[in-house]
Structure 1
Amino acid sequence: MDRIMAAITYNRICELGSLSAAARSLGISRPMVSRYLDEMEKWAGARLIHRSTRRLTITPAGEKTLEKTRQLALLSQGIEGDATRITPSGTLRIACAHFTATHLLGPVIPPFLARYPALRIEVDINNHPVSLVGERIDLAIRITNEPEPGAIARVLGTCQSVLCASPAYLARAGVPTTPDDLAQHNCLHYSRFSGQSWSFRDAEKGAMSVAVSGNFSAGISLLLCDMAAAGVGLAMVPAIEAQTGLESGRLVRVLPQLEPQPLGIYGLYQSRDHQHAALNLFLDAIKQHLLQA
């Protein structure tokens, strides 16, 4: 059996997440796709995909094999020409958090799709790290100072945060005047962090970190912002998320003499060797948007 075709078929199965979808895409029968997958597993000497009635899951051995089969497919089909790189097509799959999708991707995607009408973009809203290979993700956008290991991380910009609360909460609980005062307050935080601390930069003392705790957490910054505006407690959220509340007076800045530690905005992808033709163009568009914001 043609091993190059088996590799191409395996790539398509992983890309589409279905043997039937791969068959339709390649114009071959479903049983033939299954035979090619069997051939790939014999070639690799390992189970590459776990099959169930609901979904296919790529095994660790399958992820490693996918890296190699993508390279093999590129070698067999030839590297894309300049026209393909200039006019990308196909589907670009992006993973990011809710805040990133709303405030960062939202303004960038419409003009980008207008410029490249043959391209399709799928956005997976997920506040947790994802497997780029296992979830068939071309690009993950993360706001963090510790990007996930195992991927190439391109710096796109920084995200400024603000510590804020409602006037009603501060009237009831008191106004913090030093970072140590935060231990006496209800601090709303992101649920995906098991241990919680807030970091600041002081012009005189430099960087500092303060342990905080509270009775509410969420994985979405908009909800934390809403809870702070409702008087539940203090929240450290992206400045752009709090802007409307600050301008309306529903929120006020807390400890304005301190600057919350900025977070990096990263574009994460698996490899430079077989990336989507639109990936770098899209990263450039995000970076340009952040420079103009």
Structure 2
Amino acid sequence: MDRITAAQVFVSIAERGSMIAAAEAQGMSRAMVTRYLAEMEEWAGARLLHRSTRRLSLTDAGDVTLARCRAMLELAGAMPVAADDVASPQGLLRIACSQSLAQTTLAPAITAFLRQYPRVTVDVQVDSRAVNLVEQRIDLALRITNALEPNLIARSLAVCESVACAAPAYLAAYGTPAHPHELAGHNCLTYTYFGKSLWQFTDADGEAVSVPVGGNLSANEDTVLLRAAVAGAGVVMQPVYSVARLIADGDLVPLLPTYVPQSMGIHGIYTSRQHMAPALRAMLDFLLDWFATDPTWLSVSNVRPK
């Protein structure tokens, strides 16, 4: 048995959730996929999949085998340099991203990327929810979070800093909070997904401060909350990259100068490390460098309450 091919087939089945999709992805017949799966189960000495009329799911042994197959394929792929590893990046790259990150950050980064790699075409899918990469055929999802699921394949790209802020008109009417705990008495604009939000800060001594906040407006997209804050609806916690220009223009006022809101990681999530398309590899490398060196992105880190 070709165990490398069997491992590739099994990983493909697990990632795509069906034998037919795996057969299409591997360029082989359904019968051949079934044969390789049977040989993989014989090699593993256990049943690897629960089969039903609707979908396939991994058994406990399948979970363990999937992790080992991925590791084996990554090691095998690191041996001889594959032809596509040295090929010029080209083709379609589908990227999923939140609206605010897409508009303020990803758009200029992709523009610079496409100048460097003119044979690549990028399709950006804007979605505030976490996407299913396989089902939606997404090559790369950019996610801002500190709680990645352990089974995801991800690359850390940057740190996203946040700032609490409000419009001058709101502060004139309701006062300026001097301590995070005072936010509990303000109309705070929150994300729908989080219910009763808990905003977390660190004070000048490094001590953590957490305060539950809420208000009369929530939304599942941060640009809605941002525009409402500019109109004077309340206090909002936003990524610094989203509010930097509004703060510079005086439309929003940063709050709590001695308290630093919790930062979050910006991650690039993709389906497989082995045989990664040159365009995807190039985009990940480019974004890592872009976040670290681009003066426009770095300048937003200087936005601090005064």
| Pairwise same-fold verdict (TM > 0.5) | yes
Q: 1:186 offset after TM fit, Å?
A: 1.2
Take 1:214 and 1:189, find their aligned partners in 2: how far apart are those partners?
A: 7
| Aligned partners of 1:95 and 1:123 also within 8 Å | yes
Q: 1:225 offset after TM fit, Å?
A: 0.8
Q: Identical aligned pairs, as a percentage?
A: 39
Aligned positions of 1:164-243 closer than 5 A: 164-193=165-194, 196-203=197-204, 205-215=205-215, 216-243=217-244
Take 1:262 and 1:149, find their aligned partners in 2: how far apart are those partners?
A: 21
TM normalised by structure 1 equals 0.71
Aligned positions of 1:124-203 closer than 5 A: 141-145=142-146, 147-149=148-150, 155-193=156-194, 196-203=197-204
TM normalised by structure 2 equals 0.69
Structure 2: segments with no counterpart, 5+ residues: 298-306
Take 2:64 and 2:132, find their aligned partners in 1: how far apart are those partners?
A: 12
| Aligned partners of 2:196 and 2:214 also within 8 Å | no
| Aligned partners of 2:96 and 2:138 also within 8 Å | yes
Residue 23 of structure 2 corresponds to 23
Once the two structures are superposed, residues 7-26 of structure 1 have per-residue CA deviations (whole angstroms, 9 ceiling, x without a partner) of: 33333334555433433444
Residue 81 of structure 2 corresponds to 81
Aligned positions of 1:247-266 closer than 5 A: 247=248, 249=250, 251-255=251-255, 257-261=257-261, 263-266=263-266
Does 2:49 align with 1:13?
Answer: no
Count matched residues: 290
Q: SS of the counterpart of 2:213?
A: coil
Take 1:126 and 1:49, find their aligned partners in 2: how far apart are those partners?
A: 31
Take 1:97 and 1:14, find their aligned partners in 2: how far apart are those partners?
A: 27
Q: SS of the counterpart of 1:212?
A: strand
Take 1:7 and 1:255, find their aligned partners in 2: how far apart are those partners?
A: 54
| Aligned partners of 2:219 and 2:225 also within 8 Å | yes
Provide closer, same or farther for how the CA distance between residues 131 and 196 of structure 1 changes in structure 2, counting only shifts above 3 A.
same
Provide closer, same or farther for how the CA distance between residues 65 and 112 of structure 1 changes in structure 2, counting only shifts above 3 A.
farther
Aligned positions of 1:73-112 closer than 5 A: 73=73, 79-81=79-81, 84-87=84-87, 96-112=97-113
| Aligned partners of 2:192 and 2:219 also within 8 Å | yes
What CA RMSD, in Å, does the superposition of the two structures yield over aligned residues?
4.3
Residue 283 of structure 1 corresponds to 284
Residue 37 of structure 2 corresponds to 37
Take 1:145 and 1:218, find their aligned partners in 2: how far apart are those partners?
A: 20
Provide closer, same or farther for how the CA distance between residues 52 and 169 of structure 1 changes in structure 2, counting only shifts above 3 A.
farther
| Aligned partners of 1:128 and 1:192 also within 8 Å | no
| Aligned partners of 1:162 and 1:253 also within 8 Å | no
Take 2:51 and 2:104, find their aligned partners in 1: how far apart are those partners?
A: 37
Could you tell me which amino acid in structure 2 is paired with residue 231 of structure 1? G
Could you tell me which amino acid in structure 2 is paired with residue 65 of structure 1? T
Once the two structures are superposed, residues 221-259 of structure 1 have per-residue CA deviations (whole angstroms, 9 ceiling, x without a partner) of: 21221222233321010122123443554x321425335
> More deviation in 96-105 or 207-216?
96-105
Take 1:77 and 1:155, find their aligned partners in 2: how far apart are those partners?
A: 22
Provide closer, same or farther for how the CA distance between residues 252 and 145 of structure 1 changes in structure 2, counting only shifts above 3 A.
same
Structure 1: segments with no counterpart, 5+ residues: none
